Amino acid sequence: MQPLLKLTNIKRSYGAIQALKGANFEIMPGEVIGLVGENGAGKSTMVKIISGFDSGFTGEYELNGKALHFTSPIQAERAGIAVAQQELSLIKTMSVAENIFLAGDKVPTFATKRSLSKMAKPFLEEVGLGHIDPSISTDRLSVGEQHLIEVARLLAHDPQLLILDEPTAALGESDSIRILDMVNRLAKRGKSIVYVSHRMDEIFKISNRIIVLRDGESQEPRQAAELDVNSLVELMLGRELNNMFPARVAKQPGGVPMMKVQDLWPDRFLERISFDIYPGEILGLAGQLGSGTGDILAAIAGATQTRDGNLVFKGRNFLPKTPKEAIDAGIAYCSDDRKHDGLFLGRPISDNLSSAALKRISTWGVRSGRSELEMVTDNAVKFTVDPARLPQEAGVLSGGNQQKVALAKWLAINPDIILVNEPTRGVDVGARAEIYQKLRELADEGAAIVVASTDIQEITNLPDRVITIYRGIQVGEIALEDMTAAAILKEITDPFDETGLQEGQTV
């Protein structure tokens, strides 16, 4: 059988940076290809070339056996190639049907809302949203449903090849399952799908074959059934990764808590929450996307308002009203969106690493270049960021290195408590292991680490203790000896046995 798409000896350089060094790629009709690699390995460049966003490459590009070289994404779209980017391109104030037919050759010249809704129904059914009313406003849907609407919009153009770039990066477990189910349905209907993800479990669940990019070069395609997580990671890194997660030792929290969270009531919570945070441990906050785990961290960090509650920090009552109050007290907060409020992307890496502690390196408001360089170099090395890159803008770094900088900058304030929301979202497997190891080292040095995560593998294997949250309600606490993915999933998805209720019963 002839490949639907075949790329041979693809090369692409950006100045002195060689993003692709003779990479190859092919996909058959109805096949799901998992495209994986570390951040900076060339995945994004390959996706841009396939979808017509980057025409400055050399090499052979064949679609249905015909040699092509797209100069715009419009040309690629008309040839049957569609790409769903990580960032949604929907207009949320418009209806679902209007978004599906917002642009493209198949958009009707004249249509009523009723006729658009009728036309949208088949595409919604194809992505598993047949129960959704096409006339409702898009902003009424969950984030996962909006991602499915994005795919429905692309399917309205009748593509041969669909590229999904990190479609579940910002989704919780239940919405991620819906995306995977959709991929399987589309593949059975003959669509070819390129699935780009850092989540190894997803890659193995849905891929027929896996193509690994490493340092701009493609490895030989492998059948997914022939690989396991360890062998795939070895292909990605070019070396063996012995342990993704640092070893943990079961221990009962003892002594005086560094912080007691007492009846804290973040704005979007249904009930007050209470728990203790101990020095030397990694505490996990587990919940699905939208459950409120991130709101807890933001409330402790003074980054969001709370209706009531109190924190006892180092023996004194303390509830910060602003992030500055928290920072001055030694509380670091790394949000889940490094590009929005974690980094100054247009500023040098060195400026980012010193931004949280300007007073420490300044005299009468004037920064000391020598003191700053010593501090940022030391902290960069601790998070395996190359000091030679300090003058570069943070925005040019890969996602993994950006996340390491976003965490490393807090070392400048010598924090007692480090709050991290989604510590490895959009981060490759190698950088993940480095981040996990550094968080464990900081805990071993006496800091209290609190991690909120919707990644079930991460929240099961990183923390020493887990607090479970379900839709704005604190459910329970799971000790290390009882910590399993099944136990956590039960408490964050169905803690009140709602799925087991008989019709007419309530909880």
- Please report, for the chain, the start and end positions of each structural domain, with discontinuous segments joined by +: 5-237, 259-500
Partnered with residue 313 across adjacent β-strands are 259, 316
- Is 83:150 a contact under the CB 8 Å cutoff? no
Q: How many Cα neighbours within 13 Å face the side chain of 293? A: 28
Q: Looking at residue 150, what DSSP letter applies?
A: H
**Dist CA 26 CA 218 (whole Å):** 11
Q: Is the dihedral of CA 297, 403, 393, 382 positive or negative?
A: positive
Superfamily of domain 5-237: P-loop containing nucleotide triphosphate hydrolases (3.40.50.300)
Which H or E run contains 478?
Answer: strand 473-479
**Dist CA 6 CA 50 (whole Å):** 10
Same topology, domains 5-237 and 259-500? Answer is yes
Predicted local confidence at residue 107, as pLDDT: 66
**Dist CA 350 CA 363 (whole Å):** 18
| Residue 436 structure tokens | 């996990």
In terms of Cα–Cα distance, which of 505, 8, 385, 453 is closest to 497?
505
Predicted local confidence at residue 499, as pLDDT: 52
- Is 214:19 a contact under the CB 8 Å cutoff? no
Mark the ranges of the chain whose per-residue pLDDT is less than 50.
500-507
Q: Which residues contact 201 (CB under 8 A, 6 or more apart)?
A: 229, 457
Work out whether strand 192-196 and strand 161-165 pair parallel, antiparallel, or are unpaired.
Answer: parallel
In terms of Cα–Cα distance, which of 328, 343, 339 is closest to 416?
328
Predicted local confidence at residue 504, as pLDDT: 42
Name the class of domain 259-500. alpha beta
Predicted local confidence at residue 242, as pLDDT: 67
Predicted local confidence at residue 256, as pLDDT: 87
**How much is the pTM?**
0.74
Q: What is the DSSP string of 428-439?
A: -HHHHHHHHHHH
**Dist CA 131 CA 145 (whole Å):** 11
